[in-house]
Amino acid sequence: MRHKDKKVNRGDLQQTLSERFVWAIAYGSCIGWGSFILPGDWIKSSGPIATSIGIIIGALLMILIAVSYGALVERFPVSGGAFAFSFLGFGRYVSFFSAWFITFGYVCVVALNATAFSLLIKFIFPSVLQTGKLYSIAGWDVYITEIILATVLLLVFMLIAIKGASVSGTLQYYFCIAMVIVVILMFLGSFFAPNFDVSSLQPLSNPDKGWFQSIIAIVAIAPWAFVGFDNIPQTAEEFDFKPNKTFKLIVYSLLAAALTYVLMLLYTGWLENKSGNLNGNLWLTGTVTKDAFGMVGLGILALAIIMGIFTGLNGFLMSSSRLLFSMGRSGIMPTVFSKLHRKYKTPYVAIIFLVLVSMIAPWLGRNALTWIVDMSSTGVSVGYLITCLAAAKLFSYNKESNTYAPVYKTFAIIGSIMSFIFLCLLLVPFSPAVLSMPSFIALGAWTLLGLIFFFIRLPKLKKMNKDELSRLILNRKEEDLKSLVGDDTSRK
């Protein structure tokens, strides 16, 4: 029997995700808690208007990158996203490392959202969680009550994720609707607040940096600010609609996320801070909200943040589990990650594993976790770069080619350049967004761990049949892929 005729088991993920659910997964993941917590930091570093311009430019650059995701999902609607696309373009070895970094980036976001919930409760009710101090890490006191709260939250969302994509998608959609309503109400209400003053937006940019540097510093963090739109390709195998709508949904989610960021920046900027202590406030948006609307307003804002935390947890747990599922199904990672729940048809082993890893985070303290999360942008930027390069390799300017698509080819090249620039901004010294030294150490440790695991798996990787891998990862026979990308030795 020829090997390529051997049947492969790709699992049985259920196609239950509607367009609105998929949009909510991307939008909710992009926003998370950042648009409510970070405006004060950004206003301090770049000014409200320069930050808003940087956010809009960042969203437009992400749309350029997203063209490649939309084009590839249309042709390969499979789980795995950048992992599958990197295999398409460059084979099993490159796909292993791209998925390795993306997985870490996603897990960091899941972990951060869980700990952010504890921090929010601590801000509103300072004395509630400051019980049972265990130790201090990097100046941050770790309390057993915070750990318990974050752990319970992770377990709840683990059960939701195991229940199925339709349950997760439905909850995600309603979380997003609640968040949008609160943002609009608070933005409109700010015009009637006693501390509303447009002149409070001054200075519009950071006077020490100037307009250009103020804007570029914000553009540089776009991969982090908008990480989440790439969750759409991770769930492509569960769409209940045609995959050619993927790009449209990504664009809608990015534009909605950019608008949310800008509205909260303006809201925070033109509500006067009565305490007059910008540098001393750990949470400027919360402070000006309390000044404007009292504890009721702060409670409403807290509701939006809770929705943002829930959408981040839900979206990234779903997408990262599909990434692990795809890697496990192919055998590039242990096949246990491809096991589906007998009743719900979800990759429950991958979900449980990710939650267990995330449970380590609350024990590390906020500062130690932030060092790790700071380099999650590196992981997702690697995914962006590999995906755009794969698209640039697949699509052709040659009219005789089966993949003649000059527009997609051009956008893929532009997206590759932009992704490379984002990586340089994160990794090159003296960049306005360069990683901190602890983040570089964390990145180095994760890279070393990946190399060790890679060489452990290498004998098995070498033995894998190319056709079987193609069908497991891309749901295409190797001979079909050859007609698309040619018999390229770089895709081993």
Distance of CA 70 to the CA centre of its chain: 17
- 238 contacts 15 by C-beta, under 8 angstroms: yes
Range in 49-58, 156-165, 262-271 with the lowest mean pLDDT: 156-165
Query: CATH number of the domain that 187 lies in?
Result: 1.20.1740.10
At 133, which helix (H) or strand (E)?
strand 133-137
Is a pLDDT exceeding 50 seen at residue 60? yes
At 142, which helix (H) or strand (E)?
strand 140-143
Residues 6+ apart with CB under 8 A from 267: 39, 186, 187, 190, 285
Helix (H, G, I), strand (E, B) or coil at 137: strand
Confidence label for 425 from pLDDT (cuts 50, 70 and 90):
confident
Measured CA to CA in angstroms, residue 434 lies from 35, 111, 186, 373, 381 at distances of 21, 22, 34, 13, 13
Q: Is residue 4 in a domain?
A: no
- Mean pLDDT of the region 65-72: 93
Per-residue pLDDT tens digits for 319-338:
888 888 888 888 888 889 98
Per-residue pLDDT tens digits for 185-241:
999 999 998 888 888 888 888 888 888 888 888 888 788 788 888 888 888 888 888
Q: Is residue 8 in a domain?
A: no
Per-residue pLDDT tens digits for 371-380:
666 677 788 8
Cα 236 to Cα 233: distance, rounded to the nearest angstrom: 5
What's residue 280's pLDDT?
Answer: 39
- 31 contacts 116 by C-beta, under 8 angstroms: no
Range of 73's domain? 19-485
- Mean pLDDT of the region 461-487: 79
Structural domain count of the chain: 1
Q: What percentage of the chain reaches a pLDDT higher than 90?
A: 22
What's residue 488's pLDDT?
Answer: 57
Q: Is residue 6 in a domain?
A: no
**Lookup: tokens for 461:** 């990787």
Q: What are phi and psi of 398, to 5 degrees?
A: -80, 120
Cα 129 to Cα 111: distance, rounded to the nearest angstrom: 18
Task: Judge residue 463's burial from the number of C-beta atoms within 10 Å of its C-beta, 0-12 exposed, 13-18 middle, 19 or more buried.
Answer: exposed
The angle subtended at Cα 464 by Cα 1 and Cα 71, nearest 5°, is 100
Per-residue pLDDT tens digits for 276-290:
544 435 578 888 888
- Mean pLDDT of the region 96-125: 81
Q: Is residue 273 in a domain?
A: yes
Mean pLDDT of the chain: 84
Q: Is residue 5 in a domain?
A: no
Burial 112-143 (b: 16+ CB within 10 A, else e): bbbbbbbbbbbbbeeeebeeeeeeeeeeeebb
**Lookup: tokens for 262:** 């800008």
The label of the residue with tokens 């696309």 reads 85
Confidence label for 255 from pLDDT (cuts 50, 70 and 90):
very high
Measured CA to CA in angstroms, residue 417 lies from 72, 100, 162, 391 at distances of 18, 22, 38, 13
Cα 353 to Cα 359: distance, rounded to the nearest angstrom: 10
Cis peptide before 203 (omega within 30 of 0): yes
- 21 contacts 239 by C-beta, under 8 angstroms: no
**Residue (of 432, 487, 387) closest to 94 by Cα position:** 387
- 166 contacts 387 by C-beta, under 8 angstroms: no
Range in 134-138, 237-241, 252-256, 271-275 with the lowest mean pLDDT: 271-275
Range in 30-39, 87-96, 252-261 with the lowest mean pLDDT: 30-39
- 39 contacts 268 by C-beta, under 8 angstroms: yes
8-state DSSP, 2: -
What's residue 277's pLDDT?
Answer: 47
Helix (H, G, I), strand (E, B) or coil at 136: strand
Confidence label for 131 from pLDDT (cuts 50, 70 and 90):
confident
Residue 156 CB neighbour total at 10 angstroms: 12
